[in-house]
Amino acid sequence: MSIHNEPRHKAALLAAIRELLEHRALWLYLLCDEAEKAGLPAEQFAPAAIKRCGLSQGAGLVKKGGTPSLIGLRRTLFSKAAQLVFEMDIKRCDDDHLDIDFHYCPLVKAWQKAGCTDEQIARLCDIAMCGDRGIGESYGCTLDLPKAIARGDEICALRYHR
């Protein structure tokens, strides 16, 4: 598998924001790598920790948006700025469904820069997506990820549904 992950839009401001997200992804990789060197498999702690972060963020987003509608999630988390950074297309959005296609992922780019293998990238993505699943849970929803750039697909297809 060869992961293709190059942004179409490369404005300086977008690049700067993406670098911030890449830095966060590098933290995740390095934490998991160090834990595994110490004998603790990442799957024993990272998914739960990342989900806790997503649950916390999701609760704040529900409060900020004032509603558990997925329309509110789109407005608060998947704003125009986020859409530009991740090169997103909102495919469907109503109270109970939010379908988004991501055409670029700064997290995957960070893991590629760190020299991670495709298999490591797919695994790190699964862990990172626990945060998005936690956000969905805060909205009373489930998140499916039928396609992921980290798995070699052309897009990440996030599908929130109630």
Q: What is the pLDDT of residue 66?
A: 87
Return d(Cα 130, Cα 52) in angstroms, integer. Answer: 9
pLDDT level of residue 1 (50, 70, 90 thresholds): low
- Residue spans of the domains in the chain: they are 12-161
Cα separation, 115 vs 61, whole angstroms: 34
The CATH number for 12-161, chosen from 3.30.70, 3.30.160, 3.30.1380, 1.10.3470, is 3.30.1380
| pLDDT, tens digit, 9 for 90 and up, residues 54-112 | 999 999 999 998 889 999 999 999 999 999 999 999 999 999 999 999 999 999 999 99
How far is it, in rounded angstroms, from Cα 126 to Cα 23?
A: 18
Question: Do residues 151 and 1 touch, judged by C-beta distance below 8 A?
Answer: yes
Residue type, 154: E
C-alpha to C-alpha distance for 61 and 106, rounded to whole angstroms = 22
